[in-house]
Structure 1
């Protein structure tokens, strides 16, 4: 079993899910008392959030690179960034280490393609929904047709993530707001929904939607285990 290196803390609420899902997956695969070999470097999310808000992505990239290098020095065999938004600097992080980085968009898109879905709606932070680092990968590498909510809806989704979910606040009114947005995206032709922020799974489940839901947190964590248990 390879050792999974996790860059966490963005937020710790979703990093907790990663740890849980990874160990559940190992138990499913191996049985008995097996659990995952893993290391986590958890950053101070307030520091990251401030840099995001100020657009200081170069400084945020340095933190991510340093985190990955610490995990490599600690004995990790692969890296998982436990957040969608910070895959903005996935390329720079990957180039700074000598082990694989498992990209969250790839883990998600592989499932979407396998299921035969083509047109998908992406929910996430404003950075993820509006910038090209995530959507572009889904489009260019996997040939998906990606749509996002309108500007007002993107703000609602973004604010609920940062003001509620990252703080562990689960609000039924916010759930209904998300469901309303999802239903409208479905009317626009979306065949499936990507929960493209690792906290959204705290609020929205497949039972809330009448079209398929792809939980990036679960798919990413499970792909890390499958890689860790693979040979070679």
Structure 2
């Protein structure tokens, strides 16, 4: 089994989901008391958020690049950035290591294409929805990403940072997100990307009015597939 390296803490709420899902997937595939070989470096999210707000993406890239390098030195044979937003600097992080960086956008695009979905709504942080890196990377795979309107982007961003990252789940916020999805469906969306690793805490991708793709689960499954490639066991991630 290969060792998985996780850059976590952004936020620790979703990092805990990664850790649980990865280990559950390994146990399901190998049976018994099997669990994953995992190294996690959990950063102080407050420091990363400050860099995001200041637009200091180069400093954020240097910080996470250093973390990725430390994980490789410690024995990680692949690295995951356990957040969608910080894939804005994924190329810089990947450049600091010689092991694979498993890219959340690429894995999600593959899951969308396998399901025949080509026009998904992206629910994510403002940075992910507005900076263009997500849509551009998806477009390389033939997927045309939709984003909510300005007001709905603000609502989604605030729910993520003010509630989900703090472990707060509100039914009212779930209703707001579902209403955003309904509007997107009316505008032609054929699916929904839960494009923030905390959104799975409030929305069940299998209980939406459109097919849902949870990036946390997709990313975790990709890590497990990599880790178990030499075990002769591989399973596909269901949307």
TM-score bucket of the superposed structures, by smaller chain: over 0.9
1:146 maps to 2:145: yes
Matches for 1:196-215 after TM superposition, within 5 Å: 196-215=195-214
What RMSD, in angstroms, separates the aligned Cα atoms of the two structures?
1.0
Cα displacement (A) at 1:152:
0.6
Equivalent residue, structure 2, for 1:87: 87
Counterpart-to-counterpart distance in 2, 1:48 and 1:206: 28
Cα displacement (A) at 1:118:
1.2
1:101 match: secondary structure: coil
1:52 match: secondary structure: helix
Cα displacement (A) at 1:109:
1.1
Counterpart-to-counterpart distance in 1, 2:7 and 2:161: 19
Matches for 1:26-65 after TM superposition, within 5 Å: 26-65=26-65
Equivalent residue, structure 2, for 1:115: 115
1:3-61: CA deviation from partner (whole Å, max 9, x where unpaired)? 00000000000000000000011011111111000100000000000110111111111
Equivalent residue, structure 2, for 1:105: 105
Equivalent residue, structure 2, for 1:175: 174
Matched positions, count: 231
Q: Is the 8 A contact 2:83 2:196 kept in 1?
A: yes
Equivalent residue, structure 2, for 1:2: 2
Equivalent residue, structure 2, for 1:78: 78
Cα displacement (A) at 1:209:
1.1
Equivalent residue, structure 1, for 2:236: none
Q: Mind listing any 5+ residue stretches in structure 1 that lack a counterpart?
A: none
Q: Mind listing any 5+ residue stretches in structure 2 that lack a counterpart?
A: 232-239
Q: Is the 8 A contact 1:179 1:208 kept in 2?
A: no
Equivalent residue, structure 2, for 1:128: 128
TM-score by length of 2: 0.95
Q: Is the 8 A contact 1:13 1:167 kept in 2?
A: yes
Cα displacement (A) at 1:207:
4.7
Counterpart-to-counterpart distance in 1, 2:18 and 2:6: 9
Equivalent residue, structure 1, for 2:17: 17
TM-score by length of 1: 0.98
Equivalent residue, structure 2, for 1:157: 156
Cα displacement (A) at 1:231:
3.0
Counterpart-to-counterpart distance in 2, 1:207 and 1:105: 20
